[in-house]
Structure 1
Amino acid sequence: MSFARVRALVVVGLLAVTALVFVVVAVVRDSQSNAGTAKGCPDGWPLADIALRDRKDVKINVLNGTDQPGLARQVADEFRNRQFQIKKITNEKPIDDIAVLRYGPKGVGSAHLLRAYFLDNAETKYQPERQDDSVDVVLGNGFQQLATTTEVNQSLGDLGAAEAPPGTCPMPVKK
């Protein structure tokens, strides 16, 4: 073996050992090992369920906030056809928005999914005192139609992952 080959093997070996040392140090000194868990959460803060739900697991209350009679029932039927669980269909005082999504700590992931059905044009209202996992969908005068499946998928990609609202801690992810 020539001297050049031996020297090249020694340099490659030293680089491999150096890389291994850096990896071990990074793993041992990892300060983010509790990221995404409730450890370090202040006492009394609610845990927000930020997991993106399947449509069949999302519970919705559809409220008609328009002057158009029957809109809530029509949109509830569309959601039902898309495999959502419809809990209530009622009327509410008229609003000018496209839609308003009201939810509590257990409904953060569900509300995130529903935002995509309104192409992220729905106003979100987090209600920390709310105890159930349902989401109120209040339809406003600006509402025209729900997004198509393709539009929902694109919107979900644009939205990224759900984030815990201020004053909450993300619930540990179930594996």
Structure 2
Amino acid sequence: MGGKYRITGNRYPRMRRPRNRRRIVLASLAAVCALSLGGWGTLQLIDIFSGGSSANAAGSSSKGKEGGDCATDAKSAKQDVKNAELPDPSSVEVNVLNATDRSGLAQSTADELEKRGFKIGKVANAPAEFDKKVDNTGVLLGAPGEKGDARLKVLGTQFKGADTRFDDRKGDDVDFVIGKAYDKLAEEKEADAALTALSDPEPSPSRSRCKD
């Protein structure tokens, strides 16, 4: 070539733009970051999918266990309902026996119990084994067993601080032996609330959770 663009020497001029090293370095760093993020994301996905089955299995196991507990609680609840089938006060015959030196106390107490629906049996002084020997509110006496215990529980709602005992009687009647600390029957509202609590006990927290 001649003229203005004459080539001299042994080297030829470069015909392309020089490389930009800064861009190359940035592109390399971007590629490394992308690869790193991709690898991390892949590991997370593997953990999620591999742990999903075990989590579901654990959840199923927990659900099964919870279901078993709820079934047990339901059985217990039925048992509680059975135990809560208490006799009506009108079917409980009460013998009122006065172990104090206060005259007429047995009759007045029997009258109050009758007003509250109880059936009154014998009204008399207490036998020698109790006479002047009961310091608290009184003693509730009845036959052993579920029926006797149920009758005594119903009668016990009418008093505060009375002891419960069992003897070898064969009948269904129960005794209330009046003690020295006896003043009067429990307030009627309190007695009704106590009777309701016996007949309809509240469920435990565990049973409430099962309902949820």
On whether the aligned pair clears a TM of 0.5, the verdict is yes
Match of 1:80 in 2: 114
What's 1:67 paired with?
A: 101
Q: How far is 1:101 from its partner?
A: 0.9
Q: Separation in 1 of the partners of 2:174 and 2:54? A: 60
- Work out whether 1:123 is the aligned partner of 2:157: no
| CA deviation after TM superposition for structure 1 residue 94, in Å | 2.5
Pairing partner for 1:58 from 74, 89, 92: 92
Q: Which has the higher helix share?
A: 2
User: Are 1:147 and 2:147 counterparts?
Assistant: no
Q: Between Structure 1 and Structure 2, how many residues are aligned?
A: 140
Which of 1 and 2 has higher RCO (CA within 8 Å, sep 6+)?
A: 1
Which of the numbers 133, 140, 151 marks the counterpart of 1:110?
151
Using the size of structure 2 for normalisation, the TM-score is 0.52
Query: Contact 1:50–1:108 at 8 Å: present in 2 too?
Result: no
Contact 1:65 1:141 in 2 (8 A): yes
How far apart in 1 are the matches of 2:55 and 2:68?
A: 20
What is the TM-score of this pair, normalised by structure 1? 0.61
Query: How far, CA to CA, are the matches of 1:28 and 1:137 in structure 2?
Result: 41
TM-fit CA distance, 1:25: 6.6
CA shift, 1:100, in A, is 1.0
Contact 2:98 2:125 in 1 (8 A): yes
* Larger displacement relative to structure 2 (7-16 or 85-94): 7-16
User: Do the aligned partners of 2:95 and 2:173 also contact (CA within 8 Å) in 1?
Assistant: yes
| Structure number having the greater strand percentage | 1
Residues 117 and 152, structure 1, Cα contact 8 Å, conserved in 2: yes
Deviation at residue 11 of structure 1 after TM alignment: 7.4
For structure 2, the 5+ residue unaligned runs are 1-44, 202-212
Partner of 2:176: helix, strand, or coil?
strand
How far apart in 2 are the matches of 1:101 and 1:122? 7
Separation (CA, whole Å) in 1 of partners of 2:152 and 2:191: 13
Asked which structure has the greater CA Rg, the reply is 2
CA RMSD, Structure 1 to Structure 2 (Å)? 3.9
Between stretches 133-142 and 17-26, larger displacement belongs to: 17-26
**Residue pairs, 1:18-37, within 5 angstroms:** 18-19=61-62, 21-22=64-65
Q: Percent sequence identity over matched residues?
A: 30
Judge conservation of contact 2:142–2:166 (CA < 8 Å) in 1.
yes
Letter aligned with residue 118 of structure 1: F
Contact 2:139 2:165 in 1 (8 A): yes
Q: Which digits, 9 at most, give the CA deviation of each residue in 1:3-35, with x for residues without a partner?
A: 9xx969967864564345436777999xx99x9
